[in-house]
Amino acid sequence: MTVNTPQFKARLAETADEIEAAQRLRYQVFVQELGGSGDMVDHEKRLEADRFDPYFDHLLLYDTLRETDPVVGVYRLLRDSKAAEIGQFYSEDEYDLTALKTSGRKLLELGRSCLHPDYRGGMAMFHLWNALAEYVFAHEIEILFGVASFHGTDAAQLAHPLSHLHDRHLAPPDLRVRARAYQPMTLVPADQIDRRRAVLETPALIKAYLKLGGFVGDGAFVDHEFNTTDVCLILDTARMNEKQKNLYLKGSGA
């Protein structure tokens, strides 16, 4: 963590330079740290970009006390109205989203969530989630979804967390999206899953969604380009109980 107590401020990017600041942090996390790649990754400028960026809103978290590179967290947000302009959601390359797209509900796709290494495990994600909650209520979003990743592409190494997610957190049929290049998640029989190991091996972001009442889609997707194994997370605000709503809304002003 930084020596000084961070002073956080979250807001949407408004300029090309601010979007580049988000792409610079994404490069540090997804390319340098996790070994990802992509057609539009710019190694010279150290930017992780793709063709979807112009259509997303980019939520930035600043530490105003940092003199250089003050953007310490990012989230990419795509409303269904903007996805219609592109002709698809980003995660449709990995998942059949028919169940969500035919639901008649207002959708928001989340992606490229990351924090600077110095700000993990503290209050940074809390501030980013508060800003996300404000965005959700401002746009009357009903269902949030997006892919979240385990590091690595060997599903066998992730057998316990993937099996646990399918056994305990599979989405109900009306929200159940399905992986296109289908990697089964039922790699360990339910009565043989090491639940403690499964929880420990599940990334913090995925656990945060589950704590709020989130579900996972059917099947994982092995993304060799990004060196990850992905699951699709779905959060239906109408299904959240009061405790989960309080967790989500705390500090959002809603």
What pLDDT is stored for residue 205 in this prediction? 85
pLDDT at 70 over 70: yes
pLDDT of residue 178: 98
Q: Which long-range contacts link 33-41 to residues 24+ away (Cβ below 8 Å)?
A: 33/117, 34/151, 34/226, 34/227, 34/228, 35/227, 36/225, 36/226, 36/227, 36/228, 37/225, 37/226, 38/225, 38/226
Taking only the tens place, the pLDDT of each residue in 179-204 is 999 999 999 999 999 999 999 999 98
- The domain containing residue 227 runs over which residues? 8-249
Three-state DSSP class for 129?
A: helix
pLDDT at 248: 56
> Residue 242: what pLDDT?
64
Query: Are residues 231 and 216 in contact, defined by beta-carbon separation less than 8 angstroms?
Result: yes
Using an 8 Å Cβ cutoff, are 222 and 150 in contact? Answer: no
Query: For 223-252, how does the pLDDT look when each residue is reduced to its tens digit (9 = 90+)?
Result: 998 889 999 999 998 887 666 666 555 544
For residue 254, pLDDT over 60 is answered with no
Q: What per-residue confidence (pLDDT) applies to 62?
A: 95
Residue 1 covered by a domain: no
In a domain, 181, yes or no: yes
> Is 254 among the domain residues?
no
Sequence-ordered strand ranges (E) for the chain? 8-12, 57-63, 71-79, 95-96, 107-115, 143-151, 178-179, 215-216, 221-223, 228-236
Instruction: Quick: pLDDT tens for 209-218.
Output: 898 889 999 9
Which CATH number fits the domain that encloses residue 104?
3.40.630.30
43-54 tens-digit pLDDT: 999 999 999 999
For the chain, the domain total comes to 1
* Tokens matching residue 212: 């709020």
pTM: 0.88
Within-domain flag for 151: yes
pLDDT tens digits, residue range 123-158? 888 899 889 989 999 999 999 999 999 999 999 999
Residue 2 pLDDT exceeds 50 = no
Domain for residue 2, yes or no? Answer: no
Mapped onto helix, strand or coil, the DSSP state of residue 92 is helix
